[in-house]
Chain A
Amino acid sequence: MDKTIFETFIGLEIHIQLITKTKIFCNCRNSFGDPPNTNICPVCMGYPGALPALNKEAAKKACLLCLALKCKLNEKAVFDRKNYFYPDLPNNYQITQFEFPFGIEGSVDTALPDGSIKTVRIHEAHLEEDAGKMIHDRIGSMCDFNRAGTPLLEVVTKPDFKTGEEVEAFLLNFRRIIRYLGVSDGNMEEGSMRCDANVSINYIGKGLGKRVEVKNLNSSRNVKLAIQHEEQRQAKLLKAGEPILQETRLWDDDKKRTESMRSKEDANDYRYFPDPDLPPFATTPEFIAELKSMLVELPLARRNRFMSEYNLIQDTAEFLTEEKDKADYFEEACKKGADPQNAAAWLKGDVTKVLNREKMEILSSPLDIGRFIMLLDFVEKGKINGQTAKKVLDIIITENKNPEDIIKENNWEQVDDSDSLMPVVEKVLAESAAAVNQIKAGDMKPVGFLIGQVMKNSGGKADPKKVKELIMEKIK
């Protein structure tokens, strides 16, 4: 799309499944993967006379995210019935918030790939119930209501995005935020975070164009691709003077394009009205104070602090603050005496490599902070060299052992006394006459090779610095 002629406006509707033990209005379990219709009761099945009651935890988590998104909390939030005819919710209506949602008028800062900060305004955030799942076949539609009535928070942004890249960066950051707060696991592939994008383009300066809603986006990358595809498609229509239909389109991941959903004949008329079964929820000062005590430093702020406080480069700070657990681990290690640069390098490099290979998370892995610090300390003090430390790290994680025991068992303690190293050095030098002559002639290139040979002959235990000293001493 020619960005000198057209501009793009993108707004998002993000649904996230909240982490709670029970559903939003009844005490059925909120759990994924149970046999069909295991977690159902008269309330979520819409039996006559059954009364819904709001799950306090769902309200808390919803409002906590609202605060993190800098939303104003409505003093009195009201639940409404959104009427629609579809069997994925047995009541024939969805309980949601319409006129008085929990949060309004917020904003989120996101770091873009070019390093700039993008501020996106949040229109509103409301709490609602999720619908059940259905499988359609020829004889009928099979309903599983385990998910019906589970708490879902919908966050609606203003149309502040200009490109698919901005949206992708925003979604990654948003996912980090909800995981930091512990309100949702934000897994787009599994549907615990779902995103619809409203995309419109227009000639520059003409304001918003016709809005096209794109659904079925199950990764932040697909959201980006779908937006880019829509820009091309809509620009082509505008150039040809053809109308853009205000419609809902589905992303086809195989064909990498959007396709029109069967458009509904009449515009939706959901006939919202306040649910008489549910009293309004007042966000009292006590409630807000409780939420504020639950707020944590958000990923972007933490990244920036890591850069200034620990003098880390952006890339490293970004890596460490991806997940709250990892950032907490790093800070805890520093507090207990680890050198920040050193700890960061290990965490970003070998620790992550081994954890990924073993499919483990750092906090639940055998590499507790005490062992990690001890390992760094051994290298620092010259008890083991860097290469040995990598082997020790691997064994700590795969065999759940203490670093000192591993070193003792394998007799890996670094050798740096001249008496035991000198014979090895002499042997290597005697076998490498060509290299020795080269060095004598002033070419220092083979030094590395000689050190390597000595290391190999000492079973990897030699202190490379000491070895170099001895070699130079001997050749001179």
Chain B
Amino acid sequence: MARMISYREAINEALALEMRRDPSVIVMGEDNAGGASAGSPGEEDAWGGVLGVTKGLYGEFPDRVLDTPISESAFIGAAVGAATAGLRPVAELMFIDFMGVCFDQIFNQAAKFRYMFGGKAVTPVVIRTMYGAGLRAAAQHSQVLYPLFTHIPGLKVVVPSNPYEAKGLLIQAIRDDDPVIFCEHKALYDMQGDVPEGAYVIPFGEANVVRDGDDVTIVALGRMVSYASEAAEELAGTGVDAEIIDPRTTSPLDTETIIESVERTGRLVVVDESNPRCSVARDISAIVAEEAFGALKAPIQVVTAPHTPVPFSDVLEDLYIPSTQDIVNAVKTATDWKR
């Protein structure tokens, strides 16, 4: 029998389960305890983070859910430091766009400790952060920046596409001994899905074949996986059988599953909500071009946002986000290609 919960609840459940299992797991972030520690009047744990993802954790773990000032450099750095000293911190970087004020602690410190220190550092920190367009939140609260993290050796980058994936991947992230950037699409928080009650892990670097097909391979990331599924249903009606691959993690990236699929279908469409330059979409395209060039029957198609900031006005933002129709069109370009 299906147990339907939301993406938000799945993440909360993963945190609660791991905090119960392992006393070294702590959670910190802005508004996570709602100033409860200062004894302010009003409801303790009022928000549970700005979109309520950690709500309820403070009540159960008052000593391990920490509020922070709006001071990302300090508390993301503190999470990194605490990870070197025996804790497993899960820090909430509210919006991924705020990486700009704390990136040094992530990419010059956390990511490099193990290598710079000759293999002697263990830094099991998880940075949960929400990304993506669709909430009319404009240019500084809507970006898709996982490509920037993916570029950095030493970081692992996770982009869960539904509630089941979010829970299993977050538990893996918390148990993982390397620094992990866990990217939650804010437009998915209310998405419902069938999620087992207990703890389970989804290993990193193992793509999920969401749909089998022989005519074209669609690799889609995060929220774009459900868009790709809608496109595949529409294409099925026109006799095109699309295979959909969700890489789940952009670092490590399961190139094997992607290449194996393209060698069978001969066509690749990559769907990535980020800006196109130096994106994961272009990275996957390049890898396939290098390693499976001979199998390609058509040029690789890439569906991304345009090379612009995220606009505010709803009409513009809707144009900005890749659509199901964009994916259908890209697949048609690939399947109709004639030399």
Same complex origin of A and B: no
Q: Which residues of B come within 8 Å of A, CB atoms? A: none
Q: Which residues of A come within 8 Å of B, CB atoms? A: none
